[in-house]
Structure 1
Amino acid sequence: MATITLIPGDGIGPEITEAVVKILDAAGADLQYDEQQAGLTALREEGDLIPESLLDSIKTHKVALKGPLTTPVGEGFRSINVTLRQKFDLYQNVRPCRTIDGIKTRFDQVDFVLFRENTEGLYSGFEIFDERNQIADGIARVSRKGSERIIRAAFEYARKHGRKTVTLVHKANIIKQASGLFLTVGRELALEYPDIEFQDRIVDNMCMQMVMYPDRYDVIVATNLFGDILSDLGAGLVGGLGVVPGANIGDGIAIFEAVHGSAPDIAGQGIANPTALLQSAIMMLRHLNQMETADKVETALFKTLADQSKTTGDLGGNNSTQQFADNVIANL
């Protein structure tokens, strides 16, 4: 029996978390839940965005499943997601993007996994503001250690899962030191994996390539900002943020999360789609080596999504969040 930290989150978070837990329990997942709050809910209930009880729970259980959290744009507190990633050194942001039957997209052969460096780059928090001249500087910190471990994680994933190619994304033609170091490390590590084809792409070209030929890509690895942009682009190729999973993984702790927003405009209406969080929970089950249960839930989810009459409104159906959960359970 594995105990995980369960973080329902803000907005639609509690609704989709309830649906996902219901499905996991019905599937016989060998899990216990230590429910903790974060974000606006925690601020309201406990006076702290990231309570010590939450941090202690994650340290103890090593695995968390997290609903969406709210971060103000351009003001207010720093992203809680970024803070948790840096607090626990969760340097791998892993985002699979795969075409799903029943979800209408422009492509039908997309199947790649994007590895985004999660603790450095322009999200390191090294910012300077010159009040007198009204100039803001952001420092994109890239280290050899940080580059090495995320690129190696991508190669190891490719080898373990029978993937044939790793594509490194950079802007070394312009950002010659920071992006150049990332590319240099990638080329060095590629020599250790002769069984995996290695290629690199400049980020702007990669954006074009992904929307024209997404089926050509297998495992993609990028620094923080580029990976953030490309992972959302990848989600758009397969149906949007509402259907793709996400994981933040370190050497000892992993947090699996819905990558979409908290959607406060529809919170409490019971119409939110729990697919992204459920997909993340499937990733979590595999991380916990509960392979049979993960496969069972995934098969039931995909069978449900293939029938539009069984889906939520955003996918063309008219089912509520809990009805959708019941439909997945019926397909277990």
Structure 2
Amino acid sequence: MYEKITPPDTGSRITFEDGKPIVPDDPIIPFIRGDGTGVDIWPATQKVIDAAVQTAYGGKRNITWFKIYAGDEACDKYGTYQYLPEDTLTAIKEYGVAIKGPLTTPIGGGIRSLNVALRQINDLYACVRPCKYYPGTPSPHKEPEKLDLIIYRENTEDIYLGIEWRQGTEIADKLISILNNDFIPATPEHGTKQIRLDSGIGIKPISKTGTQRLVRRAIERALSLPKAKQMVTLVHKGNIMKYTEGAFRDWGYELATTEFRAQCVTERESWILSNKEHDPDISLEDNARKVEPGYDALTPEKRAEATTEVESVLSAIWDTHGNGQWKEKVMVNDRIADSISNKSKLARMNTRFWQR
């Protein structure tokens, strides 16, 4: 099965049931040492992990490590440009897990980034990054202890799909010509926009499927946390990229209000419900006026749209989410990427979901 590596004689494989790992007491975990600082980082990392397992389980559980190869070390073992050998991909698939150190960006060999290649080959669509302050750690912030969030970043589509063409190539020039002469003028909202002729071209696909599986993971994680931390924020640039970033936001809300309807409430829904709780006799129009900024300056059509939204929310979820019940749900909201990066706002966040 393997060309140049041999699995350990001891240990057991991690198996999966309905997408959830079933971890034995002696799991076999493939590891990639990595390049550069990986030579120093990995041995220390292994000692820390082994010591943590020993402390946590008192010898009842232990990891069996299985060395596999990628990056420069793989080229040394498998040959020139063999940055990601088939042995490595087979082992990751067979054992269902792997840990790696930092990897070099190959020069030649057809792989732009080994990290991106591993994500795409194994469909590792969620980059999960917990961010929490630990007492005693130096920080430039006044109240760093308030930082406690988890970032879920899309890992396989959008710009990470990596489809682009270099400036001056035949395909790039052809695409620019088609876009400038045919597609852009045929779309009135783009006006007189044009792509400069000396541009490189890349595409930025964001799918409903990719969006919703990522949001699903974030919501499922939020549901496992204490009530005070059950919040999911969809971060995007939908103010500029309406059909990709804006769609990401809309598809996230759609998932929350369908698949997780009983467990979630959106921020706007909470405003509508709260308005009625404070004033049971409030009219639909006055409720909409409190929810929608500049309501009285809107066109009649926009005012009617806001009022209909209020009516729909109250009709659909007042019985299940009203009278304060929404306060026990996962709050789902969204923010523009520019504003979420503000440090003071970031420090006040709990569990968040970040797309970029």
TM-score range, shorter chain: 0.5 to 0.7
Match of 1:214 in 2: 346
Match of 1:311 in 2: none
Contact 1:167 1:198 in 2 (8 A): yes
Match of 1:127 in 2: 164
Letter of the aligned partner of 2:205 in structure 1? R
Alignment of 1:281-320 (within 5 A): none
Change (3 A) 1:134 1:117: same
Whether 1:137 and 2:137 are equivalent positions in the alignment is: no
1-structure distance, mates of 2:97, 2:111: 25
Q: Which of 140, 143, 165 is equivalent to 1:106?
A: 140
Match of 1:9 in 2: 34
The percentage of counterpart residues that share the same residue type is 38
Of structures 1 and 2, the one with the larger relative CO (CA 8 A, separation 6+) is: 1
1-structure distance, mates of 2:34, 2:63: 19
1-structure distance, mates of 2:38, 2:167: 38
2-structure distance, mates of 1:220, 1:78: 30
2-structure distance, mates of 1:93, 1:119: 9
Q: Which of 89, 95, 115 is equivalent to 1:55?
A: 89
Aligned length: 222
2-structure distance, mates of 1:90, 1:112: 21
| DSSP-derived class of the 1:63 partner | coil
Q: TM-score, normalised by structure 2?
A: 0.59
Letter of the aligned partner of 2:339 in structure 1? N
2-structure distance, mates of 1:117, 1:16: 27
Q: Which of 179, 187, 203 is equivalent to 2:337?
A: 203
Cα shift readout 1:69-116 (whole Å, capped 9, x = no counterpart):
12269x984110010000000111000011122220123221110000
Q: Which has the larger radius of gyration?
A: 2
Q: TM-score, normalised by structure 1?
A: 0.63
Letter of the aligned partner of 1:3 in structure 2? I
Change (3 A) 1:89 1:77: closer
Contact 1:150 1:221 in 2 (8 A): no
| DSSP-derived class of the 1:213 partner | helix
2-structure distance, mates of 1:72, 1:38: 11
Deviation at 1:14, TM superposition (A): 2.6
Match of 1:97 in 2: 131
Letter of the aligned partner of 2:116 in structure 1? V
Whether 1:44 and 2:76 are equivalent positions in the alignment is: yes
Change (3 A) 1:17 1:130: closer
Deviation at 1:130, TM superposition (A): 4.4
Match of 1:21 in 2: 46
Structure 1 segments unaligned to the other structure (5+ residues): 227-332
Cα shift readout 1:128-160 (whole Å, capped 9, x = no counterpart):
234164321111110000000001100000001
Structure 2 segments unaligned to the other structure (5+ residues): 1-25, 55-60, 174-196, 265-328
Match of 2:279 in 1: none
Letter of the aligned partner of 2:29 in structure 1? I
